[in-house]
Copies of this chain bind each other. A is one copy, B any other.
Amino acid sequence: MNRKGTSPAGLFSLLHTANAVQAQVESRLDAIGLSLAKLAALRALADAGESLPLGQLAGRLACVKSNITQLVDRLEADGLVARQPDPHDRRGRLAVLTAAGKKACRDGTRIQQEAEANVFGALTADEAAALGALMQKLAPRA
C-alpha cells in the first residue's frame, strides 16, 4: 500500500515527465541562447520559407497573438528575426528570419534532435511507437 498521493499513470506523472524532458532539452539549447519557444518560432519561419505574418505564426505555434508579439520582440532583440511591413496588407507585419536567425535555427534544430535522441533513446522502438499512440489518444487532434 505504497500509494501516497500520485496515482500510477496519473496527471502528475505525465506533467512531471514532460517538464523534466523539456528542461533537459532547454538546458542544452541554452548553450546557444535559445529556448524551445524561440526555436519553435524559428523553425516555423524556416518551414514557411523565411517569413510569415505574425498572426499566422501564432497559428502555427498554436498560441495567442499577444504571445507572438512578445516572442518576436525577444527574437528581434536577439537579432534572429526582423519585422517588416507586409506588402499586401498595411495592417500586417512579417516576421523575417535574419542570417543569424537561419543559423540559430540550424544549430538549434541539431541540438534539439540530439537531446531528443538522447532522452528518447531510453525507449525501444516499440515503446516509442506506443508512446506516440498514447499521446495521440490523450490529446484530441494533437
Contacts and interface: CB of A to CB of B under 8 A. Distances in A.
A9 B138 contact: no
B11 A135 contact: no
B14 A21 contact: yes
A142 B9 contact: no
A9 B43 contact: no
A18 B116 CA distance: 17
Contacts of A87: none
A5 B62 CA distance: 15
Given A122-B138, A137-B122, A137-B123, A116 B20 contact: no
A131 interface: yes
A49 interface: no
